[in-house]
Structure 1
Amino acid sequence: MSQDIVTLRAGGLEAALSPAIGGSLLWLTLDGVDLLRRAPADSDDVLAMASFPLVPYANRIADGRFAFGGRDHQLPLNFGDHPHSIHGFGWQAKWTASGTDISSTTLTHIHAGNTGWPFPYRAEQHVALTPSDLFLSLSLYNAGDTPMPAGLGFHPYLLADPATTLHFDANCLWLSTPDMLPDHEAPADALGDWSRPAMVRGDYLVDNAYSGWNGTATVLRGDGIRLRLNATGADFLHVYRPPGSVDFCLEPVSHMPDAINRDAMPILAPGGTARLTMTIAIDKIDQTLPKSDGIA
């Protein structure tokens, strides 16, 4: 990679970030073992990174169009030939690092407002390591003089070996149209029952928003590494599980896809700040069977 890399360390944990490539996370390791999907060494593609921030909206906006404040707006269609605008602007922008020390840094992205998204804002991402967790805080400040739609999220790619299980609680999920917009609600176990630990890998696509999420999710890998994801400011968990893939996404987000066209998007007053946090706590579970003491 040609860009500058910010590397953080605490105990056995190491994280690396690329401010230039969407303020993204390149890797997260414990004693050299990857905890998230590692970005390829020669890649400048943010979609190949370990995680990236979503701001000032998460997931899809239908056809990149929305009406707000008495005006119609057209966003850039920023995902190849996909018909919708996706994930906001931060993931395709350069961020600036400041206040960096051995275990923490702050990344900043400023949007002055343009014809696609006329609302000026400042986004900040604070990243910190302790010997047992990764903490990320994402804030969005409305720098304009009018209200603005405001959405936040994170897009981490976790690894799944054949024995990896996932557990989280939610009230329901949104089933999608063929072009991946929410269509109607269904029971939370309609695509897999993760209300108790269940295998992550599967042979069909899951790309759906879960509502009524309680803000926690637990991943237990076959090597005994346990990742506990905790989020605040995230009313939805978007799960992306490609069929047969060795990685999957648990995306804590502040709103459902296309919320801006469904009167379900948070609104931020001038001078106001929205925040979302994600903590990934890491430990290792001893999964070995107890040894016999030799007594029959």
Structure 2
Amino acid sequence: MAHPSGEQWQIEHGDLVAVITEVGGGLRTLRRGDHDVVAGYTVDEMASAGRGQVLVPWPNRLRDGRYTIEGQEHTLPITEPRTGNASHGLTRWESWRLRERHEDAVVVAHTIHPRPGWPFHVEVTAAWVLDGTGLTCTTQATNVGTATAPWGYGAHPYLALGGTAAGDARLTVPADQVLTVDERSLPADLVEVSGTPFDLRGGEPLGDREIDHAYTGLARGEDRCWQVDLTTDALTCRVWGGPGLDWVQVFTGRARGEGGAPGIAVEPLSCPADAYNTGVGLVRLEPGQTWTAQWGIESRVS
């Protein structure tokens, strides 16, 4: 029987088990023993609210589906009618092909062919690897065309809350700045988090805060990675991001169980919303150039 998310590629290492899907090339489930690390979806469901999806060649929203590059204006289909924007790229519902498969790793690939509104040609690979520390995703994008391509990347994992009430979960985001948004969820102002409800540097309980914002000014360790932690009654989970991922989106809209398993999205991003127009964090991928970035999820029993 065919599944809504296509072929299922399960990988294992110790007590960690993950499932990567053909549709979207993303992360459907991640478990440590008896605990869900991510709030995913079942094999009989479509991914809802971006769960585990790969967001390329742009993450988040693109104003009116329009942008200009190299003096040429392009228009993409509106995929979020509520806001009138093009949302989360071109590959969420496309088939990705299996390139490599091992017991603890899988590599999937997808070619973004030229099309109306995005006349560029980029080959993307995502390597999903489990080891003793957790799950690592390494993504590469190579411009195999002849024109400079606009490029942005995002991943959309939801960290599972399990039986913990959303307001009691402790979320630590080591960021000094947050991007406020307008009524269309498009960028408004980049502000300091100090003195605002968006300041999550102290790791206090989430409370009644509702967040759907991109953070930057992220503190990095000696390994050049930032870390966002979520602590529940069952697990402490960590999403980390390496060089090239200078933003992280936090989304609490599914934290209280409205549609699917309760979880908080912690999304590593190369750029925030509307980067094709603002230029903030936008990569201009030259012909033959390869862009690479890495992020991952770690967990331990609380």
Number of aligned residue pairs:
281
Residues 3-57 of structure 1 deviation map (CA, whole Å, 9 limit, x = unaligned): 22100000000001111x211211100113111113033212x335641111111
Whichever residue aligns with residue 144 of structure 1, its letter is: G
Residues 233-262 of structure 1 deviation map (CA, whole Å, 9 limit, x = unaligned): 211111111273431111110111101111
- Answer yes or no: is 1:209 the counterpart of 2:214: yes
Q: Distance in 2 between matches of 1:73 and 1:185?
A: 27
Root mean square deviation, CA, Å: 1.7
The Cα of 1:130 is off from its aligned counterpart by 1.2
User: Which residue number in structure 2 is paired with residue 261 of structure 1?
Assistant: 277
- Answer yes or no: is 1:237 the counterpart of 2:248: yes
Q: Structure 1-normalised TM-score?
A: 0.90
Moved over 6 A (4+): none
User: Which residue number in structure 2 is paired with residue 226 of structure 1?
Assistant: 236
Q: Distance in 2 between matches of 1:146 and 1:49?
A: 29
Q: Distance in 1 between matches of 2:148 and 2:43?
A: 41
User: Which residue number in structure 2 is paired with residue 77 of structure 1?
Assistant: 78
Task: Name structure 2 gaps, 5 residues minimum.
Answer: 220-225
CA contact under 8 A between 2:50 and 2:156: conserved in structure 1? no
Equivalent residues in 2 for 1:1-296, closer than 5 Å:
2=3, 3-19=6-22, 21-44=23-46, 46-47=47-48, 50-160=51-161, 161-162=164-165, 163-189=168-194, 190-202=196-208, 204-214=209-219, 215-223=226-234, 225-232=235-242, 233-242=244-253, 244-245=256-257, 246-264=262-280, 265-285=282-302
CA contact under 8 A between 2:123 and 2:142: conserved in structure 1? yes
State the SS of the aligned residue for 1:166: strand
User: Which residue number in structure 2 is paired with residue 288 of structure 1?
Assistant: none
State the SS of the aligned residue for 1:270: coil
Whichever residue aligns with residue 239 of structure 2, its letter is: L
Q: Structure 2-normalised TM-score?
A: 0.88
Q: Distance in 2 between matches of 1:79 and 1:139?
A: 27
The Cα of 1:187 is off from its aligned counterpart by 2.2
Task: Name structure 1 gaps, 5 residues minimum.
Answer: 286-296
